[in-house]
Structure formats: C-alpha cells, structure tokens
A and B are shown apart, each in its own frame.
Chain A
C-alpha cells in the first residue's frame, strides 16, 4: 500500500502533519455557477451549472468542440470565464491564477519539462511550494513513482521514456501535490488501444488509492462509462444530462445522449395516457407501447427509445409473451458479428430498427431469421425510454 493521504490539502500546508479535522468540510469539490465563456461571439461554454462531489471520478463527455477543454481550463485557471462563478471546496476561485489554486492538471500532450529529469519533473510542484526537507521531498517522489509503477526512472529525461510512461510521469507530477481536484484532458488520447485500456484500469486504481477528485475529459463514451462515477454529456457548450453511466445508458433524456452513448432505436410517438407506472404511447405505425411514466416526464410528444440488445425477435406466427411492447416488421439485413447477429428490421411505416441478438442458441450457419422474413419485435416496457429533443438539435442539423 502506498501512503498517499487521499484527502485534499486545503491550506497548501506543506508540513507533513495533517489531521482529519479540516475546517470547511464540503461535499462539493468544484461548483460552476452560470459559467459562460465566449471567444469573440462564439460561446464555447454556454451557462454551465455543475457540482462535482468530493472524491468522485467525474467525466465530461462530448464530441469535438463541445467545450470540454474550455470548461476544464476554467477550473484550472488557464481561462477566465466571461461570466459566472467557479468555486473550489466552497471557496470562490474564479479570478485566482493557476498557481494559486489547489488543482493540478494532466495535460493531453503530457507537457513534461524536457530539460529536467523525471525526478525533477515530479518534484517541480513540491519545490515551488517549498517548505519540505530534502529527504522528505526525495521520499515523496520515490513513493509517487512507485504508485505509478515507475520506480528507478528518477534519473531519466522525458525523451528517454515511452508515451505510456510519460503519461504516468505526468500523473505522478500532478498527484504528488495532493490537489483537491485533478483535471485530466484526454490523458490517454495519444496512446494506442491496448495501452489505453490498460491505463484506464490503472487510472481507476490510482484514483481509488489516492481518493482525489478526478475531472476527466474524453470524447470516448466507452472510456467514460468504464471509469466514471458520474458523467456530464456535453453538447455545444452545455451538458444535456448528468448522471451515472447506467442511468445515462438506460434512461437517456435527450436524443443526443441516446445517440452518443451506444446505439438507440428512436421512434416518434404521441402520449395517449400518462398512467403509472407506465404511460401509453402511440407510435407512428399505430402500435401502442408502454413507457415508464418517469421517462415520459410529462411530455406530450416524445421519441420512444430502446437499445438494440434489449429487443427479442419472434417469427411471424409466434405469439410474443404478453406484457412486452411489440412491433411488427420485415428483416432487411442480417449480419453475423461473432458475438451477436445484427438485424435491421423495417417496421410497417418504414422506420428501421436495429436488433442485436446474442449468438447463444445458434448453430453454425443456422441463421434464425433471413432477409425478407416477417417478424415480431418484443421488449420489456422497463427497457423502454423516452427522449425529448436536444437543445442543440436544430444547430447540429442532424
């Protein structure tokens, strides 16, 4: 075990003696209030309100240019918001320069100092804060390099290590300062897939070990899902939904979120009856399906959604079990993908629905359904969600 005290070090207090009776105990590590950042006329960040909890692994997920980096840079102090407020552990830091904030960053390109050894790179922050004896500094650095599994790399220069190792050094260099919050901007972006997967696990382990709040920027939904406690799904300057990965996947609230995390089938419909626990919705092909009332959320026009792997296919003459939502259609395409078979089904009114069927009961070359075949689709009402339009749909021109 590595003895890195997880709790942040609010007073920049360099003396090793730290107690747990921190003066201001806040649940919230970072709070953004109505934060706007404009570059000229363009609002890169458009009124974000956000609370990141102490000790959580929080991700900002979204497509390129949606304002993730800008948000992160404002928390780090590298950009000043055009308006709004940024609080760190309950303290307003909106106008503090980066070197006065108890926040550290892992930069996408690592930004290791090329003229310094790995030791000096990692020791940089502690040296600037000062007040540490040489022996203590040395042991802190050694300990940190052990945490990121790079013991013995002290004397090397950044040019003499690999990309994955540079990534770990960047992490060590930031974490050694025991920041209240660690900001990571696509830290794995430059690594190849295998190393990336490995570092994802590694990052989670380290975060668990040190207990520091992580704010993690990525455009990779799988990465965000596997690492995060909570994710804010961003789209053109604001976030559309903030929730844990499971809620985001099972109950996306907007079209954008449903499409960005995994694959969704969306079918337009009109709410007939707002009952509990299920509301009834009539789809365009006249079929009536049941949707959890909470998902409908009082709307009259919705798009009903279901994930492709939740749908089961039945032959035209088979009777799907009662209680399922049922649609009828024709198989247009069947592709064998090894783990699963992917079907495209065309419903009566011409909508196309994707279905993934696990190849559990299949014999080799025995396709269950062939193109042209008429089938029923059935899925549980509990696996149904409903989305409203995305705020940015109009501008995205989807």
Chain B
C-alpha cells in the first residue's frame, strides 16, 4: 500500500480532498442545482411545478417585488460589519499587543457567550433592548430619555444584534493576523523615524489586512442572509431582510420558485460585493503579506 502510494504520489492530494469533495457534492452542488432548476419553475404546490426557461421572469419579478428588502439587507449587513469592525479591531489589538499573560483568558471571553444557543442569546437581547429593559428602563426612570423612545423593533436593534452575533468571526481573524506581526518590525519602523501612529498606519494596519479581509467577509456574508435577528429583534415590516422573505416564501407560502430565485440573487450580489471589496483592499497586498 505504502509502496503503491509512493509510486502514485500525485494522487495523494486528491485522496485527501475526496471526503470534502463528496460532502460538497451532496450538500452543496446537488441542492444548488436543484434550487437553480426550481428557480425556473412556475405553478404551485397544489397544481404541481413545471420547468421552463421562459420563467426567467421569476428573477425580475422577485427583484422588483423585494428590492426594499434587498437594499435593506445590504445596508444592515454593511452597517453591522462596520460596527463589528470598530469594536473588534481595538479588542483584537489589545489582546494581541497589550494583554500579556491574560491573552488566553481574554480570547476565551470573546468566544465564551457562544457556548449558549444562538436563539437564546438573541432572545436575551430582546430583554436588554426592550422598551423597559436593562438599557432603556433605567434611562427612562432617570428621565434621561423620553418614554416613547424605543430600540427594539428598529433597525438599530437588528444591526446591534447582528454585530453582536458575529463579533468573534471578526475578532479572531484580526487577532491572528495582528499576533503574527513580528514586533521587531515595529521597532524597525520607529528606528526609521515613524512615530507610533505612523508605524501603526504603515506597518501594523497593512499587515493586519488579511485578517481584516477575512473578518469582514465572515461577518458580512452571513449577515446578508441572516433572518433570526430581523425576526426577533426587528419584528416590524420595516426591518425585514431578504432572509426573512426567503424564509417565508419557502416555508410559509410554499413559493419555491421565488425563494430559489431570491437565493440566487443574494448569492450573485454577495459575489459581486466581495469581488469589488477585494479589489478595493488590494488583492496583491493580501496575498503577499499573508505568508
């Protein structure tokens, strides 16, 4: 066996890839094809669905009918990504450069909340953000904010929920890329007349880019398709995201063609957004400083 493997060494990478490829084929490629086909269906669950390429209008119909939710999804996801980044970067920076012996403890604390269920965490945010909850209750009784002020059921609640839920996905990649930076590079920067601030801009930040890139993608992409936060923290039509539409089209209305078309629109939208983003951030930088 080993002799055989040695002889056909070139096969080894493929062998190693096989389980993953089978997994992808069954749980991603097959459903995707299935979905793509159903996005060209017409009809209903009762009368049966028929496939026809002329049903491409499913896409245009879905786009025009749900454009509000699509635009809102992009906006919510982008806002949540920015918020997550603003919280995560200083956090990751502190853990990587300043935490000393508490590094591991702090890293643990970043992921500690995620030992409880996703749903429970979102529901507890309802309590926190509620009209008389932990946040607004004391403020209202102190007379600092008016009685009619609310956070729950507003875009702010949804964005805050998403930002909270994806925090580790942003923090950990940024932490890893900051941690990898050779501290002597910062000394070399200072040696070459860079003030701490310009050393940060010219050395730390560019070297952290791969982590920032990974973190923002890991936040933005799932946030675009998220529906739990909008469902539980938004609750109003004005906070519905595309994920909520897909969910209700698919599971409530049995409108498979529209749901499938929306999924593909979402997927295409994300691909375009990522491509533009990678371009903006400079792919060359990412590749060469990642090593």
A and B interact: yes
Q: What per-residue 1/0 map shows which CB atoms of B180-191 lie under 8 Å from chain A?
A: 001011011111
Asked if A76 is an interface residue, CB under 8 A from chain B, the answer is yes
Partner of B288, one of A97, A103, A104, A159: A159
A173 neighbours in B (Cβ, 8 Å): 192
Q: By DSSP majority rule, is chain B's interface helix, strand, loop, or mixed?
A: helix
A98, B207: Cβ atoms under 8 Å?
no
Contact A111 B192 (CB under 8 A): no
Residues of A within 8 A of B285 (CB): 115
Considering only residues 28-56 of chain B, those with a C-beta below 8 Å from chain A are: none
**What 0/1 readout, one digit per residue, does chain B (68-89) give for beta carbons within 8 Å of chain A?**
0000000000000000000000
Nearest-Cβ distance from residue A216 to partner chain B, whole angstroms: 16
Tell me the smallest distance from the CB of B21 to a CB of chain A, in Å. Answer: 31
Interface string of B255-291 (1 = CB under 8 A from A): 0000000000000000000000000000001001101
User: When each residue 187-213 of chain B gets 1 if its CB lies under 8 Å from chain A and 0 otherwise, what string results?
Assistant: 111111111001000110011000000
Residues in A neighbouring B189, C-beta threshold 8 A: 113, 124
Are B184 and A111 touching (Cβ within 8 A)? Answer: yes
CA distance in complex: A173, B193 (Å): 12
Instruction: Mark each residue of chain A from 262 to 295: 1 if its CB lies under 8 Å from any CB of chain B, else 0.
Output: 0000000000000000000000000000000000
Given contacts A114-B207, A115-B206, A115-B285, whether A107 and B184 have CB atoms under 8 Å apart is yes
Interface check A125, CB cutoff 8 A:
yes
Question: Which one, A111, A112, A115, A124, contacts B187 given CB within 8 A?
Answer: A111
Chain A residues, CB < 8 A from B185: 111, 113-114
A218 within 8 A of B: no
Query: Please, how many angstroms separate the alpha-carbon atoms of A173 and B185 in the complex?
Result: 13
A332 within 8 A of B: no
Residue A336 lies at the interface, judged by CB distance under 8 Å to chain B: no
Tell me the bound Cα distance from A107 to B189 in angstroms.
11
Interchain CA distance A300-B136 in the complex, whole Å: 88
Cα distance, A107 to B194, chains bound together (Å): 16
Residues of A within 8 A of B191 (CB): 76, 78, 98-99, 103-105, 174
Please report the C-alpha to C-alpha distance between residue A159 and residue B190 in the assembled complex, in whole angstroms. 22
Rounded to whole Å, the gap between the CB of B203 and the closest CB of chain A is 6
Once bound together, how far apart are the Cα atoms of A125 and B191, in whole Å? Answer: 8
Check A213 for interface membership: any CB of B closer than 8 A.
no
A114-B207, A114-B289, A115-B285 are contacts. A104–B192 as well, Cβ < 8 Å? yes
Q: Once bound together, how far apart are the Cα atoms of A157 and B287, in whole Å?
A: 12
Bound complex: CA A43 to CA B30 (Å): 69
Q: How far is the CA of A111 from the CA of B187 in the complex (A)?
A: 9
Complex formed: what's the CA distance from A16 to B17 in Å?
A: 60
Q: Are B194 and A128 in contact (CB under 8 A)?
A: yes
Give residues of chain A (92-114) contacting chain B, Cβ–Cβ below 8 Å.
97-99, 103-105, 107, 109, 111-114
Q: Which of B187, B195, B289, B291 contacts A107 (CB 8 A)?
A: B187
**Among the listed B182, B195, B203, which residue makes an inter-chain contact with A99, where contact means beta carbons less than 8 Å apart?**
B195
- Judge whether B194 and A115 touch: CB under 8 Å: no
Given contacts A113-B203, A115-B207, contact A128 B188 (CB under 8 A): no
Query: Contacting B289 at CB < 8 Å: which of A103, A105, A115, A125?
Result: A115
Q: Which residues of A contact B182 (CB under 8 A)?
A: 109, 111
Interface membership of A177, Cβ < 8 A: yes
Least CB distance from B189 to A in Å reads: 7
Question: How many Å lie between the Cα of A103 and that of B187 in the bound state?
Answer: 13
Asked whether A129 is an interface residue with its Cβ less than 8 Å from the other chain, the reply is: yes
In contact, A177 and B188 (Cβ under 8 angstroms)? no
Given the complex, which residues of A lie within 8 Å of B192, measured CB to CB? 99, 104, 124-125, 128, 173-174, 177
B194 near A109: Cβ-Cβ < 8 Å: no
Q: Determine the residue in chain B with the shortest Cβ distance to A103.
A: B191
- The answer to whether B288 touches A111 (Cβ under 8 A) is no
What is the bound-complex CA distance between A177 and B191, given in angstroms? 11
CA distance A174 to B188 in the complex (A): 9
B206→A128 contact, CB < 8 A: no
**Chain A min CB distance to B208 (Å):** 10
Chain B residue with the shortest CB-CB distance to A111 = B188
Task: Sample 7 A-B pairs with CB under 8 A, ordered by A number.
Answer: A98-B187, A99-B193, A99-B194, A111-B188, A113-B188, A115-B285, A174-B191
Query: 6 closest A-B pairs (Cβ-Cβ)?
Result: A125-B192, A111-B188, A128-B193, A115-B289, A98-B190, A111-B184
Known contacts A97-B190, A124-B189, A129-B193; can you find 9 more A-B pairs with CB under 8 A? A76-B191, A99-B195, A103-B191, A113-B189, A114-B291, A115-B203, A115-B289, A159-B288, A159-B291
